[in-house]
Amino acid sequence: MVEQEVDWLIAGSGAAGMTGAVAANQLGGTVLLVEKNPVYGGTTAKSGGVIWIPGNHRQPAAGISDSIEEGYTYLKGLIGDSVADARLRAYAQRAPEMLEFMMEHSHIHYTPLPNYMDYYEHVPGYKQGGRSMDSAPFNMRKLGRAGGSMRRGHYKGLMMPFNVTVVEGMRLQRMDMGAYLLGLKLLLRYMLDIPARLKRQEDNRVTLGPALVARLRRSMMDRDIPMWLDSPMKELIVEDGRVCGALISHQGQDIRVKARRGVLLATGGFSHNVELRQQFQQAPTGSDWTAAAPGATGDGIIMGQKIGAELGFMGSAWWSPTFTMPDGRTVALISGKSYPSSIMVNKQGKRFANEAQPYEDLIKEQYASETRGEGAIPCFLIFDAKFRSKYSAGHLKPGKIEDDKKIPQDTLDSGLLTIAPTLKALAQKLGIDTPTLLDTVARFNENARQGVDPEFGRGSTEHDRYYADMTVSPNPTLGPLEQGPFYALRCDPGDLDTKGGLLCDEHGRVTNTDGEVIPGLYAAGNTSAAVMGDTYPGAGATIGSAMTFAYIAAQHAFGELSRSDAA
Ligand SMILES: Cc1cc2nc3c(=O)[nH]c(=O)nc-3n(C[C@H](O)[C@H](O)[C@H](O)COP(=O)(O)OP(=O)(O)OC[C@H]3O[C@@H](n4cnc5c(N)ncnc54)[C@H](O)[C@@H]3O)c2cc1C
Phi-psi label, residue 373: left if phi above 0, alpha if psi -120 to 50, beta otherwise: left
Q: What is the pLDDT of residues 302-328, one digit of tens each?
A: 999 999 999 999 999 999 999 999 999
The mean pLDDT of the chain is 94
Any atom of ligand 1 within 6 Å of the Cβ of 273: no
The yes-or-no verdict on residue 158 having pLDDT over 70 is no
Whether pLDDT at 12 is above 90: yes
At 549, the amino acid letter reads: F
Closest C-alpha among 213, 245, 256, 251 to residue 229: 251
What is the mean predicted confidence (pLDDT) over 139-145?
94
Which residues touch 121 (CB under 8 Å, ≥6 apart)? 128, 461, 462, 463
Quick: pLDDT tens for 327-379: 999 999 988 899 999 999 999 999 999 999 999 999 999 999 999 999 999 99
The phi, psi pair for 381, rounded to 5°, reads -90, 110
Q: Which residue intervals of 342-461 are DSSP H helices?
A: 359-371, 385-390, 409-413, 423-430, 434-450
pLDDT in tens, 195-237: 776 776 578 899 999 999 999 999 999 999 999 999 999 999 9
Look at residue 255 in the predicted model and tell me its pLDDT.
97
The 3-state DSSP class for residue 135 equals: strand
- What pLDDT is recorded for position 269? 98
In this predicted structure, the answer to whether residue 566 has a pLDDT above a threshold of 70 is: no
Of all atoms in ligand 1, which is nearest to the CA of residue 49?
8
Q: In sequence order, which residues have a C-beta less than 8 Å from that of residue 319 and are 6 or more positions away? A: 359, 360, 362, 363, 364, 493, 494, 495, 496
Percentage of the chain modeled with pLDDT above 70: 97
Q: Residue 156: pLDDT band by 50, 70, 90 thresholds?
A: low
Instruction: Return the ligand 1 atom nearest residue 542 CA.
Output: 11
Q: Which pLDDT belongs to residue 259? A: 98
- Residues across the chain: 567
pLDDT of residue 563: 45
Backbone angles phi, psi at 198, to 5 degrees: -65, -35
Residue 274, pLDDT score: 98
Query: What are the C-alpha distances in Å from 404 to residues 159, 222, 316, 407, 409?
Result: 16, 49, 38, 5, 10
- Using the mean position of ligand 1's atoms as its centre, give its distance from the Cα of residue 53 in Å: 18
192 vs 368, higher pLDDT: 368
Closest-CA residue, ligand 1 atom 9, reads: 540
Q: How far does Cα 58 stand from its chain's mean position?
A: 22
14 Cα: distance to centroid of ligand 1 (angstroms): 5
From 207, 325, 497, 502, the mutation candidate for ligand 1 (largest count of ligand atoms within 8 A of CB) is 497
Ligand 1 centre and the CA of 497: distance in Å? 7
Ligand 1 atom nearest to CA at 331: 1
**Counting atoms of ligand 1 from 1, which one is nearest the CA of 12?**
34
pLDDT for the residue numbered 312: 98
Counting ligand 1 atoms within 8 A of each CB, the residue from 132, 230, 318, 542 with the most, and so the one to mutate, is 542
**Amino acid at site 339:** Y
Ligand 1 pocket mutation pick from 543, 545, 547, 549 by most atoms within 8 angstroms of CB? 543
* pLDDT for res 565: 45
Do residues 521 and 309 lie in contact, with contact meaning Cβ atoms separated by under 8 Å? Answer: yes
pTM: 0.96
**Above 50 in pLDDT, residue 564?**
no
Q: Which ligand 1 atom lies nearest to the CA of residue 209?
A: 8
Confidence of residue 119 (pLDDT cuts 50, 70, 90): very high
Q: Is 557 in the pocket of ligand 1 (CB under 6 A)?
A: no
| Range in 102-106, 173-177, 430-434, 560-564 with the lowest mean pLDDT | 560-564
Which uninterrupted H or E stretch holds 120?
A: none
Mean pLDDT, residues 21-47 taken together:
98
Q: At 405, which amino acid appears?
A: K
Q: How confident is the model at residue 157 (pLDDT cuts 50, 70, 90)?
A: very low
Residue 63 — left, alpha, or beta (φ > 0 → left; ψ -120 to 50 → alpha)?
A: left
How many CA atoms lie within 13 Å of 297's alpha carbon, on the beta-carbon side? 9
Burial of 229 (0-12, 13-18, 19+ CB in 10 A): middle
Kindly state the DSSP code that residue 384 receives in the 8-state scheme. -
Residue 554 vs residue 561, higher pLDDT: 554
Ligand 1 contacts CB of residue 46 (under 6 A): yes
Q: Is the CB of 44 under 6 A from ligand 1?
A: yes
| Range 148-174 average pLDDT | 80
Tens of pLDDT, residue by residue over 260-294, are 999 999 999 999 999 999 999 999 999 999 999 99
> Which carries the bigger pLDDT value, residue 440 or residue 161?
440
